[in-house]
Amino acid sequence: MKMSSSVVAYSFRYFPPLKQRALAYFSVQRRLRRRPLRSPCTALVTTSLNATSFTGNSLFRRMEVMKWISVIFNSILFYVCIQRFWAGSSIDKNKGMVAHLKGYGVIQSNKVAEVMETVDRALFVPDGSPAYEDSPMQIGFNATISAPHMHATCLQLLEKNLLPGMHALDVGSGTGYLTACFALMVGPQGHAIGVEHIPELVAVSIKNVEKSAAAPLLKDGSLALHVGDGREGWPEFAPYDAIHVGAASPEIPKPLVDQLKPGGRLVIPVGNIFQELKVVDKNEDGSVTVRTETSVRYVPLTSREAQLRGY
């Protein structure tokens, strides 16, 4: 997926869990501010405030100030603790990320949960990055890896088109994470193809996959990552049961629809300023049905030159 640092590829339907938890905690504290939870920071601030003279303020005013500062500090501490938890790098943290998404209803099937647990996200982000935070991350060349909840959403939408033996195409494959997930779902009898127009990212994605649970599929050829213009698809293994596009197109590219198998599904963000995640289903008679899943914000599906210029 191609994204600049100023763009967050969140679905507007789904509020980021970390912020949601922090805000929920803040709201509870606000309602219960007469008995704020105490922490070392709260105690330190309270002690300092007791020792300070509030010229012109009543005792009630001083107490209200201390209560509000206590609420703010406890909310900050809660958010920092959550951030530290998701910044881990172990398999347990990857499973924790999946459990987190299940808890918020983003992941609804056992198969999607299983594949996201199996493919460790930390292998597909730059070293030192907080791999398990629910946010997109820079991967270089004006590109990012999508937020975990967006990957989960797309896997859910495509699950029935990623059965063993099926063919899947990932346009804008980036570091290879979602392509690896596709490969595990379609198995060695199927094909998972990633297309990325930045050669350096393709080289990185191959190395990432080689360290992951999908490595045997890369070796036997059922998973492949190619340099190319994803707007033209990848005809060699067409028709596809599932196609995913990780950048927003002004309209649905005809080559991708043409390479979609009858009964197949394409998931693609469409639009310019206002964008929607479109679900395109090709019926058995060759006709196409399009529906909107949710509002999103992606960078444009464009040429390599435009991407490197920063669009």
Task: Show which residues are catalytic.
Answer: 146
Give CA–CA dist 24/42, Å, rounded. Answer: 19
Give CA–CA dist 97/100, Å, rounded. Answer: 5
Give CA–CA dist 34/4, Å, rounded. Answer: 44
Q: Is 181 helix (H, G, I), strand (E, B) or coil?
A: helix
Give which of 165, 188, 218, 184 is closest to 113, Cα–Cα: 184
Residue 259 and residue 243 in contact, taking contact as beta carbons nearer than 8 Å: yes
Give CA–CA dist 172/192, Å, rounded. Answer: 13
Give which of 220, 20, 257, 282 is closest to 135, Cα–Cα: 20
Residue 267 and residue 277 in contact, taking contact as beta carbons nearer than 8 Å: yes
Give which of 298, 249, 271 is closest to 143, Cα–Cα: 298
Q: Which two tokens stand for residue 238?
A: 């067409």
Contacts of 70 (CB under 8 A, 6+ apart): 33, 36, 37, 38, 42, 45, 46
Residue 260 and residue 239 in contact, taking contact as beta carbons nearer than 8 Å: yes
Contacts of 308 (CB under 8 A, 6+ apart): 141, 142, 198
